[in-house]
Amino acid sequence: MGVLVNRATRVLVQGITGREGSFHTLRMLEYGTNIVAGVTPGKGGRNVHGVPVYDSVEEALRNHPEINTSIIFVPARYAADAVYEALDAGIKEIVVITEHIPVHNTLKFVNYAKRLQAKIIGPNCPGIINPFDRVNVGIFPTSIFKPGSIGIVSRSGTLTYEIALSLTKHGLGQSTCIGIGGDPITGMDFIDIVKMFYMDPDTKGIVLIGEIGGDMEERFADYIKKHGIEKPIVAFIAGLTAPPGKRMGHAGAIISLGMGDALTKIRALEDAGIKVAKTPSQIAKMLKNELS
């Protein structure tokens, strides 16, 4: 039930002894996530909230071969090395929470992951949450999510929370919510995630949350034009009033050379047959209409 994470997910936390790593490890454990180990070089032998800490990913896997997912809270300067360490150890699903990773570093480890047939979520993202199985591999405020049939994929963390809460209040629970990150280069994109939602029998409708900058939404619209809509999709694009050339929050949220603005993205999605909400509050009603 849901995609990417479920009851079989066994999590390694890289950067577990840091302030963010420790804080969110406790939140994930309290929700029900099965965190079996953590890694911080030089801090091996400790434990954080009952989770054993190792000096390396390789050492953690020797002691816990069941690990299949890693979440990275390592500072930006060392985050790419942490991703490579997880990939080289054989972990096939990696959630990169860290922001401010240089784009060329991200490009390199994303391409490396593809060669190894591994999945990268992020960087600069809130992660993944599956309310059915109570698995939170990320930094989500878990109280706003309820089990249901709506899959959410988003570039914006804050908007994800707002829209998920609105859906929950309108009786539309979630199958999985995935924050793919707002950087110019990310691991998995809208196409990758929506294809997974199409294959998930428990996901009946999809919410796609985009924002200005880049061309991820336009590429998704092109994909839909070629392959069609298999399940109801309602989209929202943030940044309609953003001035061209001005960076707005995320590293990827910048309009330049006449590309990446909200209107262009909205037109592309609508031309592909996708309903686009004007405000976040409209999404629940529009989705209910699409599902009826």
| Tokens read off for 155 | 């570039």
Would you call 250 a catalytic residue per the annotation?
yes
- Residue 259 has what DSSP assignment? B
- Cα-only R_g, the chain: 18
CB 173 within 8 A of CB 150: yes
Token pair of 64, please?
């816990």
Collapsed DSSP state (helix, strand, coil) of residue 153: strand
- Residues 20, 22, 26: CA angle, nearest 5 degrees: 115
β partners of residue 54: 39
Choice among 24, 49, 104, 250 that is catalytic:
250
CA distance 105 to 154: 22
Strand partners, 207: 152, 234
- Please list the active-site residues: 250
